Structure formats: C-alpha cells, structure tokens
C-alpha cells in the first residue's frame, strides 16, 4: 500500500503472478516426479527400493524444514527468502533432471525439498502482507489453494506422451507375439 495516498500498490498483481507461479511449481513437482520416475529408473538403472528414496528425499527435506523456512522468511526477509527459494528450487530441479546417477538424483531431490520448504511458507506470508484487506486475503488464500490443486492435477500431463508411447510399444510387442502364434504350419490345438 502506498503510504502517501493510501491506495494499494499496483505492483501487487505482478507480485501475485510470481508468487502464484512459485506455488504452482512446487505443487506441480510433487506429482510430475511420479510420471518421470519410471523413465529415470530405466535410464539410471535404479532398483525399486531405491526408487522410493527419490520421493522420500524430497518429502523428508520439505516436511522437516517447513517451519525453519517460515522462520528464515521472518528473520531474513520474505522477498530475499522467496528469491533464494525460487532460484535454489529451479537449480536443484535442473541438477535432478540431468543427474547421471542415483546418488546425485536423490541429493538433488533433497535439496529441492529444502528449497520448497523455503518457498511454501514465504508464498503464504507474501500473500498476507501484499493483500491486507480481509476479503482480499480470503480471496488470495482460496487462490493459493486452487493453484496447489491445479499443480497436483497438471503434474501428470507432461508424462502422458511418455506413457502413450510405452503403451504403443507394448501393444506392438503383443501384436508381434500374437502373429507369431498364428503362423501357418504351427500345430494348432
């Protein structure tokens, strides 16, 4: 809010756009990893028990550092914490996407969870401070909830093409097997 005129700062809508994008990114990551994991498992030769650690590393770091993330936002400043969380989350995501082996993937997921723990409480506090009127806060909180839900719903979309490709390949393999069984000259029961 502008102190001299008492009118809301027009840049608050730009802030809302960035905060919304960050929240969507965190929510989207929680579901998109489930789609990308089978492909990563094949390319990095990850076993099924190891595969669970890719998800667990993120969840443990995120859940255990969430309160600390909020405290750091209060202590160091919300804008600074938000920007650090955003850059760190994106960098850890890039490292995880380019991980050459299992250890680096798990470490990147843990770091990503830690930066998500900085982002999540900072997003909510920035919304509360940017939109100070009670009705605005209620509207923005509802919007934050909606963005989180949309992120969870949109997460599987990037993997649909991958799954469809795998299903087509699997279907072709089955068709070849069926054709081999139907070859002339084979004994039929």
pLDDT at residue 1, as a whole number: 46
Share of the chain above pLDDT 90, in %: 40
- At 88-145, the pLDDT tens digits run 999 999 999 999 999 999 999 999 999 999 998 888 888 777 776 655 545 555 555 5
| Residues 44 and 101 sit within 8 Å (Cβ to Cβ) | yes
- At 6-48, the pLDDT tens digits run 566 667 777 777 777 887 888 888 778 888 888 899 999 999 9
Per the document, the length of the chain is 189
Determine the 3-state secondary structure of 103 from DSSP: helix
Cα distance from N-terminal residue to C-terminal residue, the chain: 83
Q: For residues 181 and 81, which has the higher predicted lDDT (pLDDT)? A: 81
Q: For residues 1 and 32, which has the higher predicted lDDT (pLDDT)? A: 32
Give dist(CA 147, CA 142) in Å, integer.
9
């Amino acid at each position: 809010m502008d102190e001299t005129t008492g009118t809301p700062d027009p840049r608050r809508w730009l802030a809302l756009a960035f905060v919304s994008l960050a929240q969507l990114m965190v929510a989207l990551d929680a579901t998109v990893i489930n789609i990308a994991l089978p492909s990563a498992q094949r390319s990095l030769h990850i076993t099924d028990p190891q595969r669970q650690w890719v998800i667990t590393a993120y969840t443990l770091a995120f859940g255990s550092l969430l309160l600390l993330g909020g405290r750091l936002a209060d202590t160091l400043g919300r804008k600074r914490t938000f920007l650090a969380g955003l850059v760190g989350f994106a960098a850890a995501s890039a490292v995880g996407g380019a991980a050459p082996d299992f250890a680096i993937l798990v470490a990147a997921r843990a770091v990503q969870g830690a930066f998500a723990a900085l982002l999540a409480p900072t997003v909510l506090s920035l919304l509360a401070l940017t939109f100070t009127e009670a009705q605005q806060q209620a509207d923005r909180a509802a919007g934050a909830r909606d963005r989180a839900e949309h992120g969870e719903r949109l997460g599987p979309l990037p993997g649909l093409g991958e799954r469809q490709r795998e299903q087509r390949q699997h279907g072709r393999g089955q068709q070849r097997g069926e054709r081999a069984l139907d070859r002339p000259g084979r004994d039929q029961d």
